[in-house]
Structure 1
Amino acid sequence: METDKNFLMNNLVNEDNYVTPFQSISPDGTNYVLGVKSNGSVVAVPEVHFIRPKWHLPYKAIGYSKDENDFYYYQGRSAVIMNHYGYVKHWIQEENNIQNFRRFENKLGQNSYVYTVQVHDTPMPKGNAGYWLCELVVLDENFKEIDRQRMKASGRIRDDYPMENHDYVYIDDGHYMIPTAYPNTVDNIPNVNGSYKVFNNVIQEVKNNQVVFHWESIDYPELYELSHYLNDPTECPSTGEKYLDFAHINSMFIDERDLNLLVSFKHIGILKIDRKTGAIMWMIAKNRCDIKGIDEKMIPSMQHDARYNYDHSITLFDDSGSTTDNARVMRY
């Protein structure tokens, strides 16, 4: 990780056109790149802030964003912070693919950077789940790693089993909610005899490496009957290799008013879950809706990214509306 002076000098731009860059050192020893705009004014940017990762494909920044906040993105095995001029400030590279790269503020008011990274030390069970097995990585404000987190031994889950990639909830450094899809054999599917293989969607709240909340989908047999996709248990008998993905967790969000959990299960609907007891408080689902005033046309199907907003409304991306089969954004 190093500053590429030639890259910076050749690519720094402003809102008028390219500056004519030259270097200068301030009294405190900071290196600056200076340039003159077409209107004659001068722009100065601390050179030390800009990094060009050696792996990054060559690119040229054309213009800049008037929003001076940084941009966060992940690309393959790398997570990157880029400033509003289009230059890399921080980056990290893993051995495997990265997802869900985000910035949070911890309880000390410092930045923490969090992402999930794919792991290959645990075989992924066969099925139509579309999960990655991964672990949560936390970096401090200097982009130094301070934590890696997987599932902890609790309920039916073995210790150090990988989480899955769709989502997580950062509460503070060392305090997270993480999900997984754990392979289990069950015999509690209503009105069906025999044992079958299913992905057990598990949510854990881990604080300082201790499990303080643990929830498993297979403890709620009614969810089998509410599933509307990949829900035929006879396709996944206990003697076979494939696992039934009747629920498919894909997002989690804490309601700041009561601290309970809003969860999207792609193959069922959105559920509010009591974070103390694990009870299902209500759901909006294709086969059941507990909220008055929501008609069939407002029911989501195959939805993603259910979350509360500043006004306590809920938004989600509805992949396939129940009555229209059209993708749409929903707000409740």
Structure 2
Amino acid sequence: MAVLSLTKLLPVLACAMIVACGIYAAMEGDLSESDENRKVPKHTVEGETDLEGNFFISFVYTKNILMLDGKGNVVWSKHEDAPGDGVQTGYWDFKKHVVDGKVYYSYHDQDSKNDKFGLPGFAPGERVIMDSKFREIKRISFEKSDIVEKGHPLDGHDFLLIDLDHYIMSGYLKERVYNIPGYPDGSNVIYSYLQEVKDGEVVWDWRSIDYPELYSLTVTDATPTANDFANEQVDAPDYVHFNAMRLNDAGDLVCSFRHLNTILCLDRTKDTDQIKWKLSGNGDEFGLTADQRTSSQHYVTVDGNTISAFDNHNITERTRIVSYDVNMDTQELLGFREYVVDGKFSAACGAQQHLYDDVFMIGWGDAQKDSVCFCVYDFAQDKALITMTLAVPQNVTYRCVYYD
């Protein structure tokens, strides 16, 4: 193997950092403009709605979060300059919470100093809680448990605030395991860890590696190395890739796992045998046909007995919204609907929300065929009511969502 001397390597590293900084600056805006203007990523908005709430926008690779009104005007934003180490970091999952009638906001603040395990889709950091005036009141990381130390960084994909001292968090952890069939000598994996905290104490948690039946469900629709349990191509495969969670009416946690093509229901009253059912994927228990199953989905939502997801559908590169009417107790599929915007494909991230009638809020995440990051789409009329288009498509949005 050829060895590059330090004196030859330094100019190469310097050039690489200059290029990275240039890309980051382009994502943030025109540096010749005023500081205030350049904080907002360059974009254009076409159309408008009569929605009285706000659109919430977060980005994967830049520390920008935006709040827009129903007409597409920016009404609030937050920005932080790129870190000096050249690592692209973002504010993820900007959202609104209402607790006992009081409004709070939160976002995930990625820290470039934390180990990403080599994963582009992992942003370890802290959850920041703000009051209704956008003043920071709290930062949250993991509490001490049998699995992690207090202060261990969170994953940025999702977060549930039940009240200011009660919340559910997600994390990605790395471990060598010995319960994968066919790998008696062990395998390094990156697994999903979920932790519920109330009044500073861990009241429930869940680890994907405690359920060896999940290993056989891993697919490679989005990531070819997701099932590399031999550790031949990567040090540790991201074999489940958690990316979203919601509570159903029974208080169970309904979660999306991208690399399983599966939505799992977890029982928060149990310490073992916590998986209640599996929807979609190779372990589907609802009798879905091949066409009804998701591929690399994001942003699961639950409304009564209806479960919906932003189905990136990497296997066909035909992104859609899918909606399942189910009986969760008997694992029966009662109805299925899909909604497709022709020509659209999102390779990662993304979100969907049913607003009213056949109108949906759609965040396009890592859109591959254009630079539209979100739209409100009326499927009855087959047209977008409002769209936001980024000037720099590489500045991928993590989530674009709507709150009343």
Question: Which AA in structure 2 matches 1:206?
Answer: V
1:321 to partner: Cα distance: 7.2
Question: Is the Cα–Cα contact under 8 Å of residues 106 and 127 in structure 2 kept in the other structure?
Answer: yes
Question: Is the Cα–Cα contact under 8 Å of residues 51 and 70 in structure 2 kept in the other structure?
Answer: yes
Match of 1:251 among 227, 244, 247: 244
Question: Is the Cα–Cα contact under 8 Å of residues 114 and 125 in structure 2 kept in the other structure?
Answer: no
Match of 2:268 among 265, 269, 275: 275
Instruction: Confirm whether residue 80 of structure 1 aligns to residue 80 of structure 2.
Output: no
1:88 to partner: Cα distance: 4.9
Match of 2:164 among 150, 170, 173: 173
Aligned residues: 272
Query: Any idea what the Cα deviations from partners look like across 1:72-121, whole Å, max 9, x if unmatched?
Result: 334632333344566554443346521111111112x1110111111123
Question: Is the Cα–Cα contact under 8 Å of residues 195 and 206 in structure 2 kept in the other structure?
Answer: yes
Question: Tell me, what secondary structure is at the counterpart of 1:181?
Answer: strand
Aligned partners of 1:129, 1:78: CA distance in 2, in Å? 18
Question: Tell me, what secondary structure is at the counterpart of 1:211?
Answer: strand
Match of 1:118 in 2: 110
Match of 1:261 in 2: 253
Aligned counterparts, 1:1-332, within 5 A? 53=36, 55-56=38-39, 66-74=50-58, 76-83=62-69, 88-94=74-80, 97-107=90-100, 109-126=101-118, 128=119, 130-229=121-220, 230-235=226-231, 242-255=235-248, 257-268=249-260, 269-278=262-271, 279-291=274-286, 293-309=287-303, 311-320=304-313, 326-332=318-324
Aligned partners of 2:75, 2:313: CA distance in 1, in Å? 39
Query: Any idea what the Cα deviations from partners look like across 1:21-43, whole Å, max 9, x if unmatched?
Result: xxxxxxxxxxxxxxxxxxxxxxx
Aligned partners of 1:59, 1:299: CA distance in 2, in Å? 34
- CA gap of 1:84–1:197, structure 2 versus 1, over 3 A, is same
Question: Is the Cα–Cα contact under 8 Å of residues 228 and 234 in structure 2 kept in the other structure?
Answer: no
Question: Which AA in structure 2 matches 1:99?
Answer: W
Aligned partners of 1:67, 1:220: CA distance in 2, in Å? 43
Question: Is the Cα–Cα contact under 8 Å of residues 157 and 244 in structure 2 kept in the other structure?
Answer: yes
Question: Which AA in structure 2 matches 1:139?
Answer: M
Structure 1 residue runs without a partner (length 5+): 1-51
Question: Is the Cα–Cα contact under 8 Å of residues 129 and 248 in structure 1 kept in the other structure?
Answer: no
Question: Is the Cα–Cα contact under 8 Å of residues 115 and 136 in structure 1 kept in the other structure?
Answer: yes
Question: Which AA in structure 2 matches 1:304?
Answer: H
Question: Is the Cα–Cα contact under 8 Å of residues 103 and 113 in structure 1 kept in the other structure?
Answer: yes
Question: Is the Cα–Cα contact under 8 Å of residues 94 and 117 in structure 1 kept in the other structure?
Answer: no
Match of 1:30 in 2: none
Question: Tell me, what secondary structure is at the counterpart of 1:164?
Answer: coil
1:318 to partner: Cα distance: 1.8
Aligned partners of 1:296, 1:110: CA distance in 2, in Å? 44
Larger deviation, residues 79-88 vs 241-250: 79-88
Aligned partners of 2:258, 2:43: CA distance in 1, in Å? 38
1:159 to partner: Cα distance: 2.3
Question: Tell me, what secondary structure is at the counterpart of 2:291?
Answer: helix
Percent of paired sites with the same residue: 28
Structure with more contact order per residue of length (Cα contacts < 8 Å, sep ≥ 6): 2
Aligned partners of 1:171, 1:259: CA distance in 2, in Å? 11
List, as ranges, runs of 4+ consecutive aligned residues in structure 1 with deviation greater than 6 Å: 58-64
Question: Which of structures 1 and 2 has the bigger CA Rg?
Answer: 1
Question: Tell me, what secondary structure is at the counterpart of 1:289?
Answer: coil
- CA gap of 1:85–1:294, structure 2 versus 1, over 3 A, is closer
Calculate the TM-score normalised by the size of structure 1.
0.73
Aligned partners of 1:135, 1:64: CA distance in 2, in Å? 34
Aligned partners of 1:179, 1:59: CA distance in 2, in Å? 31
1:68 to partner: Cα distance: 3.6
Question: Which AA in structure 1 matches 2:307?
Answer: I
Query: Any idea what the Cα deviations from partners look like across 1:244-285, whole Å, max 9, x if unmatched?
Result: 111110111110x21001111111111111012151101024
Question: Tell me, what secondary structure is at the counterpart of 2:122?
Answer: coil
Aligned partners of 2:217, 2:166: CA distance in 1, in Å? 32
Question: Tell me, what secondary structure is at the counterpart of 1:235?
Answer: coil
Aligned partners of 2:134, 2:280: CA distance in 1, in Å? 40
Question: Which AA in structure 2 matches 1:305?
Answer: Y
